[in-house]
Structure 1
Amino acid sequence: MTLSSRVLLVDDDELTLQMLEATLEDAFKVVCVTSGEQALALCANEVFDLVVLDVDMPGLDGYETCRRLKADFQSADIPVIFHSAKVSIDERLQGYAAGGADYLAKPFDPTELQAKISLVLANRDKQRELAGQLDEVMNAVLSTADMVGEAGVVLEYQRQLASCADYAQVARALFEALQRYGLDGCLRIRGRAAALSLNARSPCSALENSILDHLQAQTEGPRIRPLGAHTGFSYGSVLLFVRDLRMDRGEAMDKAVSERMGRAIDNVAMLVEGAIVRVSALDTEMAARELADVRHLVSMTRNALTDISARSQAQKDEVKAIFESLNAEVESSFLHLGLTHSQEDFLSTLLKQHMEAVLTSMGKSQEVEDFLARVILKLNQYS
């Protein structure tokens, strides 16, 4: 986001336009128009970095204006933020279907508006950075699509899953399989390691995240559910939203097309179930590594405590042996010292008293020894 970024504001309400312009004019080059027709004409001749588009307008409404922008090669890449007092999930789904990047409620909050614009422009820059790499991948995927049938796509996908080392690789394999079916959408994976929300090109937009949040909140009911002209797959740790895949196909739809969409839903469900299995396997592998680390730590701790206990006992035995040797030497020296009987008794008693005092003091460490023994026994159960 820079001062050179050009933002087109489209709203039929002059007061709203003035408020939007006042909020953004210090950070962007702002252009204002009051209709969808004017917006299309400007975008056909000028370059804009982003459009803030009112939904409810006379003539062309925001959704139709956005669809026409996206249909024109020159303006197709301009991100659109819808601005409306209608913020239900159905309205947001219409905005998503029309090609919007985010949805802003009326009346708008200036801080929220600026944050949404910053995020959308950052995502656009990231998409442009990855565009070259993505085009190469897409060309490779599309070149093989004609050679692989529906069952072949699933089999190839399962083969790729076996080598996926993290959630991002699982998501990439799933999107490649979707693209072979001519489908697109957004995905959320929630596992032991992390949670990530992606589309085929980049992290999910704010609007895509809100749709996935809606799917995630639907904890009851079928795992596969219609969302307007689209379909959501809610499988616990994996959520997938597929655009332009209808569950409710209606009587007007051609039978062959209806059957093809039915098979597509079944195939996508198999893709999601495969992702679930691989995510679970990755989580199990992570848990096994963590358990191995814990067991190694337990083993090191047990060995250290066992060594401390052995050293303590050895020290106690050594001190006792030293006192016993000292007492024996003193008693044997009585013959050469010329001490009286009472003096010999005094020295002998004194030595025994001190030896007993030291041994008594060391005996108190038995409580520590007993505690260490209990700890070692407990650690042995986890090794």
Structure 2
Amino acid sequence: MLRRAQHAQSELRPDMEQFARGVLTMTVRSHVLLVDDDELTLQMLEATLEADFKVSQVSSGAEALSRCDSDPPDLIVLDVDMPEMDGYETCRRLKDNFSTADIPVIFHSARTSIDERLQGYAAGGADYLPKPFDAPELLAKINLVLAHRDRQRELSGQLDEVMNAVLSSADMVGEAGVVLEFQRALVGCADNAAVARAILDALHRYSLDGCVRIRGGGEVYSGNARGPCSALENSILDHLQAQTEGQRIRPFGHHTGFSYDRVVLFVRDLRMDRGADMDRAESERMGRAIDNVALLVEGAVQRVGALESLVATRDLADVRHLVSMTRNALTDISARNQAQQREVKQVFDSLNAEVENSFLHLGLTQSQEDHLSSIIKQHLEAALAVLGKSQEVEAFLGRVIHKLGQAAN
């Protein structure tokens, strides 16, 4: 029988041989484990396969499990009818073990009914070979199964790459969402402290921590996620703020600083110096984080500038209101002054008329009458001069209001 097996191997049908040899170029020296309790069958199988494969053999299911743990083969040709543990149970245990679950199994049995084949399929087998075996068919089945395994591994690798890309894209979408949420939060920030809290909240969503200083509107706020900055943090921010030239984003060991005029930010454990000790995924995450934090800082700069404009606008509105109130008050004062001048003149005119009427009864000489009239006119001119000085003050205030109005517009 051994000679017949060797002879059958040498007389492979041309079509099957061509196919088998073609596939062999991909699986040269793959390791095939033969499992059978019949020594002669093992010899025949080994004689058929040893020219193209590394072949090892065991005579029981328990030995097969042990061998696969210590030296996993690329494929197993497994007898179904064995004592103690048959081929189906052996295969099930292989598939239940994570380290051996991917090893393909070809069942070898004289029982080839559909029920037997279904049992082999349920146990996790890749193919079913009838006894006695045909050498070309055995080679073809082995190479087909190995080719299918290689293709599955290739597809699995591609799937891993796709899944990594999907997860990376999902991370990017989530990270972009943090930036968008931050931009929305900025709209409600009414002062520098609120802008700082928005930045620190966004950093927390990126699983980052740090401290920030914001200058604007004549005010300075420095803080971290827990409250005001420590002395050491303030010294770090001072150093960043002093670096007015060069890059806006700078490495500080395993940390990164962002200096954007109104906003200075220090972020812990955000590395710019990503070296060989960091894997690719982490390096890409760090790179995206730096870009996203830069977007946060730029958004904060814009909001602080907008807050300064709002303050300036409110101040200008206050000035305009003050100018308007002062102009109205000055107009009222001017009207009152003019009214007082008319009243004073009327009083003195009335006094002068009464005095002149009394001259007839007093029996005064002409010189005495002229002297009294002169005294009354002198006091009238003095009173009007005093009122005239208030008009000078009124004119000065008018010029000041005009200049304030020009500045407000």
CA–CA distance in 2 between the matches of 1:364 and 1:212?
A: 59
Rounded to whole Å, the distance in 2 between the matches of 1:153 and 1:204 is 24
Q: What is the CA distance between 1:155 and its match in structure 2?
A: 0.9
Q: CA distance change for structure 1 residues 177 and 310 in 2, over 3 Å: closer, same or farther?
A: same
The answer for the alignment partner of 1:311 in structure 2 is 336
For 2:239, the equivalent position in structure 1 comes to: 214
CA apart distance, 1:339: 4.5
Give, in whole Å, the separation in 1 of the partners of 2:345 and 2:252. 83
Residue deviations 1:40-87 (CA, integer Å, cap 9, x gap): xxxxxxxxxxxxxxxxxxxxxxxxxxxxxxxxxxxxxxxxxxxxxxxx
* Paired position in structure 1 for 2:191: 166
Query: How big is the shift at 1:253?
Result: 3.2
2:395 corresponds to which residue?
370
Residue 236 of structure 1 is aligned with which of 255, 261, 267?
Answer: 261
**Contact persistence 1:299–1:379 (CA under 8 A):** no
The question of whether the paired residues in 1 share the 8 Å contact of 2:182 and 2:296 is answered with: yes
Q: Please say if residues 334 and 391 of structure 2, whose CA atoms lie closer than 8 Å, have aligned partners that are also in contact.
A: no
Between the aligned partners of 1:364 and 1:206, the Cα distance in structure 2 is 61
Shift of the 360–146 alpha-carbon distance from structure 1 to 2, 3 Å rule, reads closer
Question: Which whole-Å CA distance do the structure 1 matches of 2:286 and 2:227 have between them?
Answer: 26
CA contact (8 A) 1:323 1:355 kept: yes
Q: What secondary structure is seen at the aligned counterpart in 1 of 2:227?
A: coil
Change (3 A) 1:163 1:358: closer
- Give 1:263's aligned residue: 288
Question: Structure 1 pair 369/218, CA: closer, same or farther in 2 (3 Å)?
Answer: closer
User: Partner of 1:175 in structure 2?
Assistant: 200
Identify unmatched segments of 5+ residues in structure 1: 1-144
Which has the larger displacement, 250-259 or 163-172? 250-259
Q: What is the Cα deviation at residue 342 of structure 1?
A: 4.3
Q: Aligned partners of 1:362 and 1:162: how far apart in 2?
A: 56
- Cα distance in 2 for residues equivalent to 1:206 and 1:274: 27
Aligned residue for 1:291?
316
State the Cα RMSD in Å: 2.8
- 1:245 alignment partner in structure 2: 270
Larger radius of gyration: 2
- What is the alpha-carbon distance in structure 2 between the residues aligned to residue 369 and residue 202 of structure 1? 54
Q: CA deviation at 1:243?
A: 1.6
How much does 1:282 deviate? 1.9
- Shift in Å, 1:360: 4.2
Partner of 2:179: 154
Query: SS state of the match for residue 149, structure 1?
Result: helix
Deviation at 1:223, TM superposition (A): 0.3
How far apart are the structure 2 equivalents of 1:208 and 1:274? 22
**275, 280, 294: which one aligns with 2:305:** 280
Contact 1:238 1:276 in 2 (8 A): yes
Residue in structure 2 matching 1:184, options 209, 219, 224: 209
C-alpha spacing 1:295/1:326, structure 2 compared with 1 (3 Å): same
Taking structure 1 as the reference length, the TM-score comes to 0.55
Deviation string, structure 1 residues 269-289 (Cα, Å, up to 9, x no partner): 001111111122222222222
Aligned to 1:138: none
Whole-Å Cα distance in 2 between the matches of residues 336 and 220 of structure 1?
97
Change (3 A) 1:216 1:352: closer
Q: Secondary structure in 1 aligned to 2:309?
A: helix
1:97-108 pair list within 5 angstroms = none
| Aligned mates of 1:339, 1:253 — CA distance in 2 | 120
Code of the residue aligned with 2:191 in structure 1: it is: D
Give, in whole Å, the separation in 1 of the partners of 2:225 and 2:257: 16
Q: Which amino acid letter does the alignment assign opposite residue 301 of structure 1?
A: T
Q: CA deviation at 1:319?
A: 0.9
Change (3 A) 1:317 1:175: same
Counterparts of 1:11-160 in structure 2, within 5 Å, are 149-160=174-185
Shift of 1:216: 1.4
- Tell me the TM-score normalised to structure 2 length: 0.52
Offset from partner CA, 1:102-142 (integer Å, 9 cap, x none): xxxxxxxxxxxxxxxxxxxxxxxxxxxxxxxxxxxxxxxxx
Match of 2:30 in 1: none
Q: Letter of the aligned partner of 1:367 in structure 2?
A: E
The Cα of 1:220 is off from its aligned counterpart by 1.0
Instruction: Give the gaps of 5 or more residues in structure 2.
Output: 1-169
Question: Residues of 1 paired with 2:390 and 2:231: CA distance?
Answer: 64
Equivalent residue letter for 1:348: S
Within 2, Cα distance between the matches of 1:250 and 1:305? 74
Cα shift readout 1:125-163 (whole Å, capped 9, x = no counterpart)? xxxxxxxxxxxxxxxxxxxx9896111111111111111
CA–CA distance in structure 2, aligned partners of residues 343 and 278 of structure 1: 83
Deviations 1:175-214 (A, max 9, x none): 2222222222221112225322222223222222222222
Contact 1:166/1:282, CA 8 A, preserved across alignment: yes
Shift of 1:219: 1.3
Q: Partner residue of 1:118? A: none
Q: Secondary structure at the match of 2:228?
A: coil
Q: Which amino acid aligns with 2:352?
A: N
Q: Which residue of structure 1 aligns with residue 383 of structure 2?
A: 358
For 1:376 and 1:167, locate their aligned partners in 2 and report how far apart those are by CA, in whole Å: 34
Distance in 1 separating the partners of 2:386 and 2:194: 64
1:328 aligns with 2:353: yes
Residues 238 and 272 in structure 1, CA contact (< 8 A), matched pair in contact too: yes
